[in-house]
Amino acid sequence: MVVMCAGINLSTVTILRHTSESTREKTQKRFSCSMCQKKFNLRHHLRVHMRIHTREIGYKPQPFSCHVCGKQYSQHATLKRHVEVHTGSERFSCDICGKRFNLWQHFKTHTRSHSGQKPYGCDLCGKRFNQSQHLKAHISVHTGVKPYGCDVCGKRFNQKAHLKAHASIHTGEKPYSCDVCGKTFREKTVVNVHMKIHTGEKPYVCDVCGKSFSQRSKVNTHMKVHTDEKPYQCDVCGKTFRAKNIVNKHMKVHTGEKPHACDVCGKRFREKNKVGKHMKVHTGEKPYGCDVCGKRFKQRSHLNLHMRIHRGQISCKPVMCVGTDLTVSQISRVT
């Protein structure tokens, strides 16, 4: 029997040998990047990869441009996927939540959020992910490679999306807004997290104590309360913390840095959220209300403290809590 392979007459035995050799050649990553040593099985893949490094040093070859919005891409396939954003084609629908997608790959990835499937595993630490790009980004934690650099301040990132989000700090751009309250954000993912404030959704539950959270990362941080794990350490004083972002906040104690200022009185704060809390001093706003007695508070922590009175955990003296702002000096624990 004679069969055709790419226009060449070959016997069945020859074609089997030929295809197995082709497969073996493709699995062998013979083409290596001279800048980061990453290997590829096709020369074309290496050429596409090199565009990452050429963009770093100032040359930005992105030959494929969207005819609708002008956005440029280094690969034609990426441009083709982008164009569907403008066409509005959403052919794939999730049977569970009804969400629609214009790309099969996006739909397939989404279904894993319902199934909990994480097919991509790190060979170094065993951590698993539901998307291949998340695994690739995670690998850089072990390698320390951060190929994406900010042109303004030089800060480097292991993901292009993180660089893009960081760039908006310099431009002040916040293109994503909440449909409920109008608050604007730099990243779409932050909008999705913020929306749970309005919906009250807390889908992530601690297996130990049952406490629920709006974000999976908060569950992971919370779990360290039970394990007493504090893997992040301050380089100055040696104090340890459960989360890296808490270390970053703590460092401002040593540097004295207070980058966030009140527009009304000029008072400065280490953390941006403290400015928002402080502004209620000027506005008189009390957004947190007690469901039992109706008393309102400027801060959620004050409401939580007040609620302990109703639960009988603390007593209020020498004045009644109703209609009066509580201070620490007015609170004593019930013994």
Is 147 within 8 Å of 155 (Cβ atoms)? no
Q: Where are the beta strands (DSSP E) in 66-181?
A: 72-73, 92-93, 100-101, 120-121, 128-129, 148-149, 156-157, 176-177
Each of the 335 residues of the chain gets a pLDDT tens digit; together they read 444 444 444 444 444 444 444 444 445 677 888 877 778 888 888 887 776 666 544 445 566 788 777 777 767 777 777 777 676 666 778 888 878 887 777 888 888 878 888 888 888 888 888 888 788 888 888 888 888 888 888 888 888 878 888 888 888 888 888 888 888 888 888 888 888 888 888 888 888 898 888 888 888 888 888 888 888 889 999 999 888 888 888 888 898 888 888 888 999 988 888 888 888 888 888 888 899 898 998 888 888 888 888 887 766 554 444 444 444 444 443 33
The whole-number pLDDT of residue 316 equals 56
The whole-number pLDDT of residue 314 equals 66
The whole-number pLDDT of residue 12 equals 44
Q: How far apart are CA 128 and CA 112, in angstroms?
A: 12
Residue 322 C-beta-side C-alpha neighbours within 13 Å: 5
Tokens 């989404």 identify what position? 110
The whole-number pLDDT of residue 9 equals 46
Cis peptide bond N-terminal to 63, omega within 30? no
**What is the chain's length?**
335
The whole-number pLDDT of residue 92 equals 79
Map residue 35 onto helix, strand or coil. Answer: coil
The whole-model pTM stands at: 0.41
b/e code 106-134 from CB counts within 10 Å (16+ = b)? ebebbbeeeeeeeebeeeeeeeebbeeeb
Of 74, 58, 54, 55, the C-alpha closest to 66 is 74
Helix, strand, coil % over all residues of the chain, rounded to 5: 40, 15, 40
Domains of the chain, each with CATH number or no CATH:
97-199 (3.30.160.60), 204-283 (3.30.160.60), 288-333 (no CATH)
